Structure 1
Amino acid sequence: MSHLIPIVEFAKRLVQHHHISATIFIPTTGTPPKSLVSVLESLPENIHHQFLQPVNVDGLPKDVRVEFVVSFIMQASLSSLRDALSCLKSKTKLVALVFDMFAHASMEVAKEFNLFNFLCCPLSAMALSFTFTLPKLDEETVGEYKDLPYPVQVPGSVSFHGPELMAPVQVRTDEVYKEYLLLSKRLSLVDGIMVNSFEELEQDTILALPGGTPIYPIGPLIRSEPSNGSDWHECLKWLDDQPSGSVLFVSFGSGGALSLEQIHELAHGLEMSSHRFLWILRSPNKVSFASVFTDSSQNDPLGFLPEGFLARTVNRGLVLPSWGPQIEILSHEATGGFLTHCGWNSTLESIVHGVPMIAWPLYAEQHMNAKMMTESLCLALRLEMDENGIFRKEEIEKVVKELMEGDEGKKISKRLKELKTAAMRALSIGGSSMESLSKLVLQLN
């Protein structure tokens, strides 16, 4: 979902502003989840979608990493993609194939059909800049990146110690690393790269990107249609009753999960802070990336919370199991802060709505995002772990109070208001992102 949404929003902009029709192909392993279907059903009439033939993943090991599973599905879908493109070519004039980072193997299919091939990068310009540097880093490095005695400088951005680098590159002997390295080597072969960022946010990094491949900053690409769900409307009614800017929104995205111990520490920290909160809470998990299809339909989906927590915080807190309307919550007047896993979609949504953040990274490139947000862009406060890798309740209490009422929180809030205006300006007619999109369309003609 986090990769599909930027693709969908990009297609909407093409259709709305440049009258180019689009068809979105979606690889599957069976019946698509309702959340995905709801996004696709909201598309304008001139944006079509087609599910490719389901891929059987039953033979994969149960403990295989999710990035490998997605890459496997993409590779196994190439034949179905060829058939779909052949059928589409018989009905309309095909110009370009836009592919996600996981689907870079489809470049070969684009060549077969004599199409432009464009990468739609759902990550930040910083993450893209790092990806460009990976081949050289791979040649120069012996052993694992986590053991590097020096930080890795990302052109145009901050530097990162080995353990802070994105999850796909942490184990160099892993198939996931080999796949990401292959993607990095292919960046110079594409006809252009759309990046989900905008000049006013990451100007230095965008300028530092290599000049050989056309780069189009066309962000922020965030979900624009409203969410559905009767339970969610209830949470928005609850927000209506809260004072302006008083609520801390807590969410770790569609796949983020915490251990039971960490959930208890977070609950106690929120309670100790005495601030209002709206918490989207998934069931505890030993790994930080849980399946987005985890079933939360048990009779007591919040029974794992500390005893008495819900009763003690009933007048200033609301906890929703598993899901919530994030865009609507962030855009609500009562929301004054966002404790986030630093996924790039969530970060951009917070920027667009001017909500200051607390960074709590979990997986993927989120640790890199968190460092950039706290050290370079000044959009978030950072929590400090103890020696056991746990954020303790006292630390959570301290940082929540600083964000919601302290001087640092006020500085971040001011910075976010400026960026909110800049994001709106970038997406307006003549703005930097709209001009970038126009240049991309010129390349197609």
Structure 2
Amino acid sequence: MVLSNKNPHLVLLSSPAHPTPTIELGKRLVTCQSVKVTVFVSCFVKAAAAVSKTIGSIPKTELFDVIQLPPADISGLVEPGHTGLTAVVSGVRVTKPAFLSAISALETPPTALIVHVYAIECLKIADELKIPKYVYTCSHAWYLALILYTPVLDEEVGGEYADKKEPFLLPGCTPVRPEDLPDPMIVQTKKDYLEFLQIGLDFPKVDGILVNTWEELQPKTLAALRDYQLLGSIVKAPIFPIGPIATEGTAGLKSELFYWLDKQPSGSVLYISFGSMGGLSVEQMTELSWGLELTQQRFIWVVRPPMAKTGSGSAPKFGHNADDMSSYVPEGFISRTRDRGVVVPHWAPQVQILSHPSCGGFFTHCGWNSAIECIINGLPMIAWPLYAEQRMNATLLTEELGIAVRSQTIPSKGVVGREEVATMVRKIFVDEEGRKIRGRVKELKLGADKAWSHGGSSYEALHEMVKHCQKSR
């Protein structure tokens, strides 16, 4: 059976580290373009059960299906405990044969293949099937520009990037400071950098690029990506800004936490979470706790066990274990703040909290998905970048978009003191600066809503992408 031009079949492939953004893109393609979508989800062995549970909760229809590939065992390919880009790409390579077999066996032949940026080497499968191939970058356009330009930097910059003092110039874009480089670029002699470089080298082979931003959010960077005299000379494929695409929440969720939220004044609660892999030292947790007490601010804090007794303030942490929260926050903190704060162990329904009328700000690790969730809810941020490209995200949010504040101390390099924590909280909830930030983020929220309205920039970009893949076939 071959689909008609009116109903193409798009196949999507996630990377093991980013299944949710790919699934959400698939949903958007179905709801906005009425195309048939099959999403293949790759995952690591340790995450297989959780991914299976997530997939099982997604309603499947005639136009939308999500299939979990066999879990990738990378124990013999990377060092134990390694969680960087090498691990992610290795997981893709392990599942590649299973993906080829699965896509070849589909009852409805695919019209085009869209892969997550960290699964870009699977585009070779599209060549075998003789179908168009696209890459989905679920981060922003500035990060995409850096990926595209890394092969040029690799030839032009002598020595380690992190040792340089001057920012790295990206044609037509904001320069990238050495301290803002994403983790894979920090040490060029490591495998993570070689994988990152290879991704940049593979981009010129694509037929199109989808990126999780929108025209009105990053017009200058998107223009540079399309300008042949700037970055467009590197990759001539069309750029489709199709954001904001974020995780959908569950409507009507009720618990003791939400009964508490319902009683708080509008815009009064600070939500604090550092992502599923964000860890703080005991020293940093202590300073954050006292900073919250100094402000008397209402809050919800998702607390995870500390990564270390002392040392740097924050870092990626994996494999959290259950523990008694009172043993790693200051003595009496939970009881002293009980009237205005809630401490939640390990996990909280972030999407539902951020969309609640009582939520007034987000103390965040600056993952791009979290940043987008803030923007679409019109919330200011306290930026606390930890790993991956989050330092770039924090700079974009604070310096270019003007919707966040951040500490002078880089959290991954030192402990941020309680006074500075309190100052940042007051900035977004009390000070004049916070009023301006709130006004700006509400403008961006309206722009995001407009981008996905019928005829909006992202709505039309997704429509153009579907037309493009049909013409390219």
Query: In the TM superposition, what is the alpha-carbon distance from 1:130 to its structure 2 partner?
Result: 1.1
RMSD: 1.9
Q: Identify if the C-alpha distance between structure 1 residues 103 and 362 changes in structure 2 by more than 3 Å, giving closer, same or farther.
A: same
Structure 1 stretches of 4+ with a deviation exceeding 6 A read 227-230
Aligned residues of 1:126 and 1:154 also touching (Cα < 8 A): no
Query: In the TM superposition, what is the alpha-carbon distance from 1:402 to its structure 2 partner?
Result: 1.3
Alpha-carbon distance in structure 2 between the residues aligned to 1:255 and 1:227: 26
Q: 2:321 aligns with which of 295, 315, 319?
A: 295
Aligned to 1:238: 260
Instruction: Tell me if 1:174 matches 2:225.
Output: no
What amino acid sits opposite 2:86 in the alignment? F
Q: 1:87 aligns with which of 84, 105, 119?
A: 105
Alpha-carbon distance in structure 1 between the residues aligned to 2:249 and 2:301: 22
Identity of aligned residues (%): 38
Aligned to 1:439: 464
Aligned to 1:400: 425
Aligned residues of 2:163 and 2:178 also touching (Cα < 8 A): yes
The normalised TM-score by structure 1 is: 0.94
Q: 2:281 aligns with which of 237, 255, 259?
A: 259
Alpha-carbon distance in structure 1 between the residues aligned to 2:98 and 2:457: 37
Instruction: Tell me if 1:8 matches 2:32.
Output: no
Report matched runs for 1:101-140 at 5 Å.
101-140=117-156
Aligned to 1:224: 248
What amino acid sits opposite 1:328 in the alignment? Q
Alpha-carbon distance in structure 2 between the residues aligned to 1:308 and 1:204: 50
Query: In the TM superposition, what is the alpha-carbon distance from 1:38 to its structure 2 partner?
Result: 2.4
Aligned residues of 1:27 and 1:74 also touching (Cα < 8 A): yes
Q: 2:159 aligns with which of 131, 135, 143?
A: 143
Residues 326-347 of structure 1, C-alpha deviations (whole Å, 9 max, x = no match): 1111111111111111110000
Report matched runs for 1:33-432 at 5 Å.
33-34=49-50, 37-38=53-54, 41-45=57-61, 46-59=63-76, 60-88=78-106, 91-209=107-225, 210-211=231-232, 212-226=236-250, 233-286=255-308, 288-291=315-318, 293-296=319-322, 298=323, 300-385=324-409, 389-432=414-457
Alpha-carbon distance in structure 1 between the residues aligned to 2:275 and 2:297: 22
Query: In the TM superposition, what is the alpha-carbon distance from 1:2 to its structure 2 partner?
Result: 6.8
What amino acid sits opposite 1:394 in the alignment? E
Alpha-carbon distance in structure 1 between the residues aligned to 2:410 and 2:21: 36
Aligned residues of 1:339 and 1:357 also touching (Cα < 8 A): yes
Query: In the TM superposition, what is the alpha-carbon distance from 1:105 to its structure 2 partner?
Result: 1.3
Alpha-carbon distance in structure 2 between the residues aligned to 1:33 and 1:302: 30
What amino acid sits opposite 2:73 in the alignment? N
Alpha-carbon distance in structure 1 between the residues aligned to 2:142 and 2:131: 28
Residues 159-178 of structure 1, C-alpha deviations (whole Å, 9 max, x = no match): 22212111111110111100
Q: 2:40 aligns with which of 18, 25, 31?
A: 25
Query: In the TM superposition, what is the alpha-carbon distance from 1:66 to its structure 2 partner?
Result: 3.0
Alpha-carbon distance in structure 1 between the residues aligned to 2:101 and 2:283: 49
Query: In the TM superposition, what is the alpha-carbon distance from 1:17 to its structure 2 partner?
Result: 2.3
Aligned to 2:4: none
Query: In the TM superposition, what is the alpha-carbon distance from 1:11 to its structure 2 partner?
Result: 0.9
SS class of match (1:320) = strand
Matched residue count: 438
Alpha-carbon distance in structure 2 between the residues aligned to 1:257 and 1:229: 27
